[in-house]
Amino acid sequence: MLRGAIGQIQFARNYTLELLENTPRDLWFTIPEGLPTHIAWQVGHLTVSQYGLLMFRIRGRQPDDLDLIPSRFRKAYGRESAPNADPSSQPSPDELLERFAKVHADSLQVLSEVEPSALLEPIDMPYAAFPNKLGAVLFCPIHEGIHAGQLGVLRRAHGLKSVR
């Protein structure tokens, strides 16, 4: 089941990257009329979420995590945050993509080292699917797929064509 989940995590990430690679960077902080978000917030949010689901939930907070996901970043892109259309007050698209890739690589490393039996250890709310670490792993690609859909809607609102 873990191998299958990792495959789904990678599939979801590849699709998200395909959407991002086909979206001009100058549109990343533009909130289209009638929509509540922008591309940069989606990338930052996916970064914070993947850290939470696949690193924090699986192995707990580590000292280096504060550099990887500083409090300011978590507050800007976490679950209760609101997108900010001012690019001067946030990381650039390149910086967001760099952190996005680093968290993804580190998350896959954590999953490669976890004992499968440890995934049955319980976790506190909020959780998805199951009240254990496995539930966090299984929810990760679903969550990214939801946000990939939002990226697709944002692209269309910007007048861009579908990538698939």
Are 12 and 148 contacting, i.e. CB atoms less than 8 angstroms apart?
A: yes
Residue 164 has a pLDDT of 82
Domain ranges of the chain: 2-157
Mean pLDDT by 10 residues, the chain (164 residues): 95 98 98 98 98 95 95 94 95 98 98 96 82 95 98 98 90
Residue 130 has a pLDDT of 84
Residue 125 has a pLDDT of 79
Say how far apart CA 69 and CA 78 lie, in whole Å.
11
Residue 65 has a pLDDT of 96
Q: Where are the alpha helices (DSSP H) in the chain?
A: 2-21, 39-51, 57-59, 65-68, 71-77, 93-113, 133-157
Residue 112 has a pLDDT of 97
Residue 126 has a pLDDT of 73
* 2-157 homologous superfamily: dinb family like domain (1.20.120.450)
Residue 31 has a pLDDT of 98
Are 103 and 55 contacting, i.e. CB atoms less than 8 angstroms apart?
A: yes
Residue 127 has a pLDDT of 75
